[in-house]
Amino acid sequence: MGLASSQLEAGRIREPATAPTRMRWRIVTLLAFVAGLTYIDRLNLGILAKYIQEEFQLPTQTMGWILGAFSLGYAWFHLPGGWLADRFGPRRILAAAILWFSAFTAATAMAPTFLLVKWLGVAWGLAIVRFLMGIGESAAIPVGNKMMGYWLGSKERAFGTSIFLAGVGGGGVIAPLLITWMGKEWGWRTPFLALGFIGVFAALACYHYVTDQPQGNPRVNAAELAIISGDRKPESSSLSGPLRTRVPWLRVLSAPSIWGLMISHFCLVYPAYIFFTWFFIYLVKVRGVTVSKAGFWGSAPFVANVCLVPLWGWLSDRAAEKLGKRRGRRATAWTGIACSALLLWSGSHTVSNPLALLQLTLAAGFNFAASAVLWTTCNDISTKSSGSISGIMTTFGSLGGLASPVVTAAVATRMGWTRALDFAVLVTAISGLAWFFIDADRTIE
């Protein structure tokens, strides 16, 4: 009887525990959709600009100012959005940001009819709407990245964050096809209204389905919470303590890692914006590629984003697990930066167009992959203040994006396009040097 009882007890011990829920991956997928939506909303005006110019007889230079109004709003509100997420929790701020930029996306279709336009004109009406839309979008990625810190354990953080950021690449691939088709079928106003409507549903989903922290979500069981918390002590886990955080600005601004993140992001966004702004013109005017083929190759960097960014996130987690966060994050960032720089240099010097464009496409993909490691490191350094840290880093990245088209044009005009891309290679290399200051093992708390 005693033997039977012992066997029964052993059988109970060997019974499988309740399988962990997978709510964290649903959150990651939803936020990847939001990231993609921000990029579709960002690109829609450029795709539809031809129709708007024709209807309102807007000069090209005026249209350029309207397109630039988004960047002006987008560049300067990353930090306030991230700080608000740290101070009041990311869920409400993210939902409000999505609702904000979706409302102004839809308002773009109606801007020419606003009462204000009677005094200021159509161009000013469109520019103001796009500026306000940029303010909303500026908060989305830093706040979403903060949520990654709460919802992903240290062994999955880079991979999950990379899926979230790969949504940007997905949006870049979908936008030209979707927006062009909708504009041709139903007129240029329809895409703006439709995307605004979709954004409202995304905001409601984030508000009602997502929680600031996983332990407050009824769809998360204890097994999943254990995965998220990992081997961290309860008192040091992001799952514990007050959600609202007073950001320790003195420690943030005096940390070498923060300055390394800012410099590295500036230097990675600089070459990335060449693909966003000048790449199509480079293909047609310098490489002699036909417009139809240039459209294909113009979307190729976004395809590379979707493929390489999740892979690099997975590699970063494996490297951090084997080498520690400091060496693991550095190793994957340096590898991505080195591949990007080498491919950008070799691609710009390769005569064969197909081979050159393949190399340049991969250079963009490795650039995006290395950037994803930066976003993960924001949460490694501080989960509680990562909204503000992500906001500071993104602000510097936006400044790199602002400098890129101007400096690239100046160098290309004086010394040619090959030298302009060579300069981008140098800037990319500097982003790697900045990693000597970044230590993902050292938190600011």
pLDDT (tens digit per residue) in 183-228: 888 999 999 999 999 999 999 999 999 999 898 899 999 999 999 9
For residues 146-169, give the mean pLDDT.
91
pLDDT of 118 strictly over 70: no
The CATH number for 388's domain is: 1.20.1250.20
Predicted pLDDT of residue 102: 96
Q: Of 405 and 99, which is predicted with more confidence? A: 99
Query: Is 13 inside any structural domain?
Result: no
The answer to whether 264 and 431 have CB atoms below 8 angstroms apart is: yes
Whether residue 279 is contained in a domain is answered as: yes
183 and 258 together in one domain: no
Q: Which pLDDT band holds residue 117 (cuts at 50, 70, 90)?
A: low
| pLDDT reported for residue 7 | 43
**What pLDDT is stored for residue 336 in this prediction?**
97
Higher pLDDT, 218 or 291: 218
Name the least confident of 15-19, 91-95, 235-239. 235-239
Given a cut of 90, whether residue 11 has pLDDT beyond it is: no
Within this chain, do residues 215 and 72 fall inside the same structural domain, yes or no?
Answer: yes
- 218 and 306 housed in the same domain: no
How many independent structural domains does the chain possess?
2
Q: Answer yes or no: is 234 within a domain.
A: no
Answer whether 203's CB lies under 8 Å from 102's CB. Answer: yes
Q: Does any domain span residue 202?
A: yes
Q: Please give the residue range of the domain that contains residue 171.
A: 23-228
- CA 391 to chain CA mean position, Å: 12
Q: Are 282 and 316 members of one domain?
A: yes
Looking at the predicted structure, is the pLDDT value of residue 158 above 90? yes
Predicted local distance difference test score (pLDDT) of residue 381: 93
Q: Are residues 224 and 268 in the same domain?
A: no
Confidence of residue 16 (pLDDT cuts 50, 70, 90): very low
User: pLDDT of 40-72, one tens digit each?
Assistant: 998 888 888 888 888 888 887 788 788 778 888
Are 244 and 93 within 8 A, CB to CB? no
Q: In this structure, are 347 and 204 located in the same domain?
A: no
Taken in order 352, 355, 360, 361, is the CA torsion positive or negative? Answer: positive
- Residues 338, 197, single domain; the answer is no
Q: What is the mean pLDDT of residues 311-328?
A: 94
Does one domain contain both 193 and 127?
A: yes
Q: What is the DSSP letter of 188?
A: T
- Residue that has been written with the tokens 């354990």 in this structure: 153
| pLDDT one-digit tens code per residue, 221-270 | 999 999 998 745 443 444 544 556 788 888 888 999 999 999 999 999 99
- State what percent of residues in the chain have pLDDT above 90: 55
In a domain, 239, yes or no: no
Closest CA relative to residue 376, chosen from 170, 160, 229: 160
Look at residue 115 and tell me if it is in a domain. yes
Burial of 193 (0-12, 13-18, 19+ CB in 10 A): middle
Compute the average pLDDT of residues 296-322: 91
Domain final position from 169, 202, 228: 228
Lowest mean pLDDT among 39-48, 146-155, 283-292, 388-397: 283-292
- What integer pLDDT is reported at residue 243 of this predicted model? 58
**Domain identity same for 303 and 395:** yes
Helix, strand counts (H, E) of the chain: 18, 0
Evaluate if residue 391 carries a pLDDT over 80. yes
Angle (CA) 233 374 361, round 5°: 140
Domain match, 382 and 325 both: yes
Residues 218 and 256 reside in one and the same domain:
no
- Choose the final residue of a domain: 195, 228, 261: 228
Residues 195 and 339 both lie in one domain = no
**CA nearest to 315, candidates 370, 368, 278, 268:** 370
Q: Is residue 10 part of a domain?
A: no
Residue of 74, 158, 75 whose CA lies nearest to 378: 158
What pLDDT was estimated at residue 9?
A: 43
The larger pLDDT score, comparing residue 292 to residue 10, is at: 292
Enter the DSSP assignment of 445: -
Residue 438 has pLDDT above 80, yes or no: yes
C-alpha–C-alpha distance, residues 421 and 418, integer Å: 5
CA distances from 295 to 90, 275, 283, 285, 289 (A): 37, 12, 9, 13, 10
Q: Is residue 14 part of a domain?
A: no
